[in-house]
């Protein structure tokens, strides 16, 4: 759970990073931003700030901000009746992103959050700098972490149903709860 103050500070900080990356962000979009701590209660270590631009029947567009060293927990997207699992492309606009996908371990730049070895199993590292992009296949475990300046990225995908995402860490609760 996030405190109201923590939520507001993170939202303002994320909006500043988005605007510095050249993103036009409306007031409504800023106010509707999802500050996700994944129910783990340590936002700056494991978390993400997400702006949802749209979800149509077929596609979704979002921007994700990560604070320095912040990690989006390992997850994968599943198929649902009548819909294939989400395929997504990450494109970095600012900062550096260390993306991890299954494959031979090459983890070097990022680090697995302390005490969470079992919850981060994908260890093939892909370094994404501004202008780099990577497509994550459906049903593939992945996680990512920002470098020391934080990062802003776009995620463009087939229709997202965030509440259906599966996480390796059994303690993750996807819906953000804010105290007060
Ligand atoms: Zn994903």
Instruction: Measure 179 CA to ligand 1 centroid, in angstroms.
Output: 26
Instruction: Measure 26 CA to ligand 1 centroid, in angstroms.
Output: 24
Instruction: Measure 76 CA to ligand 1 centroid, in angstroms.
Output: 6
Q: Hey, CA dihedral for 119, 125, 130, 136, is it positive or negative?
A: negative
Instruction: Measure 22 CA to ligand 1 centroid, in angstroms.
Output: 23
Instruction: Measure 5 CA to ligand 1 centroid, in angstroms.
Output: 27
Instruction: Measure 12 CA to ligand 1 centroid, in angstroms.
Output: 24
Nearest to 18 by CA among 54, 52, 55, 42: 52
The whole-number pLDDT of residue 173 equals: 87
Q: Which residue has the higher pLDDT, 104 or 164?
A: 104
The Cα–Cα gap between 180 and 53 comes to 27
The Cα–Cα gap between 113 and 103 comes to 19
Instruction: Measure 137 CA to ligand 1 centroid, in angstroms.
Output: 9
The Cα–Cα gap between 99 and 144 comes to 4
Distance of CA 2 to the CA centre of its chain: 17
The whole-number pLDDT of residue 160 equals: 80
Instruction: Measure 142 CA to ligand 1 centroid, in angstroms.
Output: 7
pLDDT, mean over the chain: 94
Beta bridge partners of 92: 153
What SS3 class is residue 64? strand
The whole-number pLDDT of residue 72 equals: 97
The Cα–Cα gap between 133 and 180 comes to 38
Instruction: Measure 155 CA to ligand 1 centroid, in angstroms.
Output: 9
The predicted model scores a pTM of: 0.94
pLDDT tens figures, 108-167? 999 999 999 999 999 999 999 999 999 999 889 999 999 999 999 999 998 887 777 899
Instruction: Measure 75 CA to ligand 1 centroid, in angstroms.
Output: 6
Nearest to 13 by CA among 180, 178, 152: 152
Nearest to 33 by CA among 76, 71, 63: 63
Contact 135, 89 (CB under 8 A): yes
Instruction: Measure 152 CA to ligand 1 centroid, in angstroms.
Output: 15
């Amino acid at each position: 759970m996030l405190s109201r103050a923590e939520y507001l500070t993170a939202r303002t900080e994320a909006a500043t990073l988005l605007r510095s990356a050249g993103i036009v962000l409306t007031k409504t979009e800023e106010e509707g931003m999802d500050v996700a701590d994944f129910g783990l209660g340590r936002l700056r270590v494991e978390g993400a700030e997400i702006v949802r631009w749209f979800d149509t029947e077929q596609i979704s567009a979002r921007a994700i901000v990560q604070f320095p060293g912040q990690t989006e927990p390992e997850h994968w997207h599943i198929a649902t009746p009548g819909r294939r699992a989400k395929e997504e492309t990450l494109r970095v606009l600012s900062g550096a992103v260390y993306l991890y996908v299954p494959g031979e371990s090459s983890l070097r730049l990022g680090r697995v959050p302390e005490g969470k070895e079992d919850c981060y199993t994908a260890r093939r590292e892909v370094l994404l700098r501004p202008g780099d992009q990577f497509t994550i296949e459906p049903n593939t475990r992945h996680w990512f972490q920002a470098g020391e300046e934080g990062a802003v990225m776009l995620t463009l995908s087939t229709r997202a149903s965030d509440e259906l995402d599966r996480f390796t860490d059994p303690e993750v609760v996807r819906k953000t709860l804010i105290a007060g």
